[in-house]
Chain A
Amino acid sequence: MNNDNFKDTRRARGLGIAFLVFAALMLILFLPGTTGKQQTTFAFDLELSRALPIGNLTFSTQGMLYLLAVLAVFLGAWQLAKGFKQADLILGVVVTLFVLAFLTWAARDRSVNMTGMLQATLLRAVPITLAALSGVMCERCAVINIGIEGMMLIGAFTSALVGSIGKSMWVGLIAALLAGGLMGALLAVLAIRYKVNQIIAGTAINILATGLTSYFSSRYLQVIHELNRPPTFSPLPLPVLSRIPILGPVLFTNTVPVYLMLILVLVIHVVLFYTRWGLRTRAVGEHPKAADTLGVDVIKTRYINVILGGMIAGLGGAYLVLSSVARFDENMTAGRGFIGLAAMIFGKWNPIGSLGASLIFGFADSLRTNLAILRVPIPSQFLLMAPYLVTMIVLAGVVGRAIAPAADGEPYEKQ
């Protein structure tokens, strides 16, 4: 107990110092390249948006940098002196301040559209979040799912093919859910019935999915183009809500899969932590033997959760096709399943934590396009590395050990 207390104080102090380091970095990294006369503009209105216009925000670049640094110093000092109760949240705030400082510097003498950036961040985070949610569903009942990437690929392929044949994005979406569920069932059968090492099973699913989708794509989709032209979802602005400045365009003017993702995060969170089903799932993940003794059907719980996890991954794949590019390309998931896995661990196996972590990666992804517009003088590759570096630093320094469900990865044998 004492040891824990000691660790907690050490961690609290570490966080405080980290905040101060962030403040110092803002000034060291961004101040030298600026002059006192430079101004930065943050724009908030998007063209063709239904949101009420609120105009631009123009301010002195150096003034803003000092302001942000002072805020971070204040938070760091407070953390060192008194300590915040929700230090992780404050860490998020400080990282946000740092990102704002970066944008202030990058957009000096120019303008950056904050609403557009947030919108891009959310959209890029959608497949990653869905991948992470798929992982949460499986791992909360102790089945490791490394095959998310493959399940997403299958979902993407199916949605493109079936959507094109059925000439409807809804048909494509449902087909992707079914195909993802089927892949989930494959993982479930291998992991639960045959007690295959779950990492092997997931890896096999990834390789098999890559092969199947690429093979059939080069045999059919690339030859007959009509088979790879699914109709797509267009943004569906919600009445009234979409007129709110910033929030309207970012949250309430989206396509159906995006809304589905946001709803899923909330639903899975509520189900997992506030319902009997969730309690049972978590019990199966932490201590299957005890759950079994109390009458929970361990095997059935795992089957259902893993199949649902597969369907969520399938949705993630369908999003890539039906909400953005409108066609299937080989290996189009491009590692998002694995990033989602990282987001899940980073988010400590929680749906909302996973969303938070996915947003960080989504922001990283959206920087790619925005940096080109801003013409930042640093090689873009280094800036694109930054989010991954920050993740590593945050993980090492402050978040600490992530605790997986206790029985994660272990097959269950009924005695």
Chain B
Amino acid sequence: MSEENSTPKTTKDKKPARRFRERWRALLTPLMAIVTALILGAVVIVVTDTSVYEAFEEGFGVGLGRAVEVIATAYGAFFSGAFGNPGRMVNGLRIWIQTGDGRAWTQSLYPITETLRYATPLIFAGLAVALGFRGGLFNIGAEGQYFIAGLTTVFVGYALTGVPWFIHAPLALLAGILGGAVWGVIPGYLKAKTGAHEVINTIMLNYISFRFAEYMLDVGGPMARGDGRPVSPLVQPSARLAQFFPSNADIRFNIGFILALLAAVFVYWLLFKTTIGYEIRTVGQNPRAAKYAGMSVSRTIVLTMALSGGLAGLAASTDILGVIGFMPNAFSSGYGFDAIALALLGNSHPFGVVLASLLFGALQAGARNMQGVARVPLDLTDILQGLIIIFIAAPAIIRALYRIRTAESGEEVVMTRGWGQM
């Protein structure tokens, strides 16, 4: 509250050197947050490795050496799983240029494409929650919207036949948007008309959508494949999203990622360059003021939830049309809760959400490789994610730890005000 009285300073009237230093400082804190989380993660890895204890029994130096070795193996696998092996990339490129055989080159790109692939649905889901936050709504229901959108997408994907791809794929995507939007509009409408809290209603709708999907896909259910497995039929090839590397079946990197980036640009444009976006943000900041300014608060709430649900729906659509190709029963994604973290990490800004999703995508891809190569449980990602969120959200801890001077306080976003009373 007290900051409001201090005179606001814009970055424009400062010298370039100082501006650069401030930008660097603003970047330094999240960077050190990630580094600190990785250090703590290394401590967890070492402490839980029995071979380190055995080595310490032989002598302090041996133990220390073994500890360093364990960390190096784990994080080596982690980074090569998330970003790839530079040596292999260069080598692959060389083979491609010399012989014209690009297989080694594309295979060396596999890790980085995995990172981007994992990031794709996270971007959509993160944008969904971020948009809700901007409008003062807490959408815990991205998970449920994901399920319903999965059903609508996969239905259009397999039931429609004989349609060219440039109609079929967009239609299937649109079905996902609509499914998610409908599932988002329900709590939005209830909030606008009756004041029923969207947090309860989105949680309730999550459970309803789990059961509904279970019913639809259960053996003998309306959308089951019919071969005794609780999964939907395969989506027609015409509805599948185009792959970037169709020659390599391992790489599942598709244009869904481009769509996600476009969605982020769209949300940015909508929020900050249009009247609708202005209304969404005003209702989010101060519904009473919005009302006195002549905006329709109810309409804005419903619209925000529709957009939010639609975005969450696209997470499912791109997963199904771009990667899986069908909808399995019980495919709990966990995106709903990751999305909350992403929206918060990205400060509810579309581009912030993209960066946060890329980080989480890299953590996912890296941890999978780390589990395979160094046999460190996958769950280390959650530990790292939790720590990173804490450190980024409480920069004071990091600043105190590394004695970074406080950056001048920038514009703070009011993301959620309690339970959002109206």
Residues of chain A at the chain B interface (Cβ within 8 Å):
142, 144, 190, 194, 196-197, 199-201, 203-212, 214-216, 218-220, 330, 335, 338-339, 341-342, 345-346, 379, 381-382, 384-385, 388-389, 391-392, 395-397, 399-404, 407-410, 413
Contacts and interface: CB of A to CB of B under 8 A. Distances in A.
Contacts of A215: 44, 48, 377, 379-380, 382-383
B211 A211 contact: no
Interface stretch (B59-67, B195-203, B314-322): B195-203
A210 B382 contact: yes
Nearest to A400: B195
B39 interface: no
B393 A211 contact: no
B331 interface: no
A211 B418 contact: no
Nearest to A405: B418
Given A199-B340, A201-B390, A403 B207 contact: no
Contacts of B389: 200, 203-204, 207
B210 to A, nearest CB: 9
Interface stretch (B17-25, B74-82, B212-220, B402-410): B212-220
B418 A200 contact: no
B172 interface: no
B204 interface: yes
Contacts of A410: 417-418
A403 B195 CA distance: 10
A382 B419 CA distance: 30
Interface-centre pick from A144, A204, A385, A399 (highest chain B CB count, 10 A): A204
B386 interface: yes
Interface string B115-140: 00000000000000000000000101
Interface residues of B, number: 52
Secondary structure call for the A interface: helix
Contacts of A216: 48
Interface of B: 1-2, 44, 48, 138, 140, 190, 193-197, 199-201, 203-205, 207-208, 211-212, 214-215, 218, 337-338, 340-341, 344, 377, 379-387, 389-390, 393-394, 396-397, 415-419, 421
B418 A201 contact: no
Contacts of B204: 342, 388-389, 391-392
B418 A409 contact: yes
A208 B381 CA distance: 9
Given A345-B200, A385-B207, A214 B379 contact: yes
Given A197-B415, A388-B208, A207 B382 contact: yes
Given A339-B203, A385-B208, 17 more contacts: A190-B393, A197-B344, A199-B138, A210-B379, A211-B381, A211-B383, A211-B385, A212-B379, A215-B379, A215-B380, A215-B382, A345-B197, A396-B190, A400-B195, A408-B419, A409-B416, A410-B417
Contact of A219 (B138, B194, B377, B385): B377
Contacts of A219: 48, 377
Contact of A194 (B199, B383, B397): B397
17 contacts: A190-B390, A194-B396, A196-B394, A201-B393, A206-B337, A209-B386, A210-B386, A212-B382, A215-B377, A335-B207, A345-B419, A392-B190, A392-B201, A395-B194, A395-B196, A401-B196, A409-B417
B212 A194 contact: no
A214 B377 contact: yes
B379 A197 contact: no
9 smallest beta-carbon distances between A and B, as pairs: A211-B382, A208-B386, A409-B418, A211-B383, A214-B379, A401-B195, A381-B215, A408-B418, A204-B389
A174 B195 CA distance: 41
B2 A345 contact: no
A384 B213 CA distance: 13
A88 to B, nearest CB: 15
B390 to A, nearest CB: 5
A382 B215 contact: yes
Interface-centre pick from A190, A388, A403 (highest chain B CB count, 10 A): A388
Nearest to B213: A381
Given A144-B418, A215-B380, A409-B416, A381 B218 contact: yes
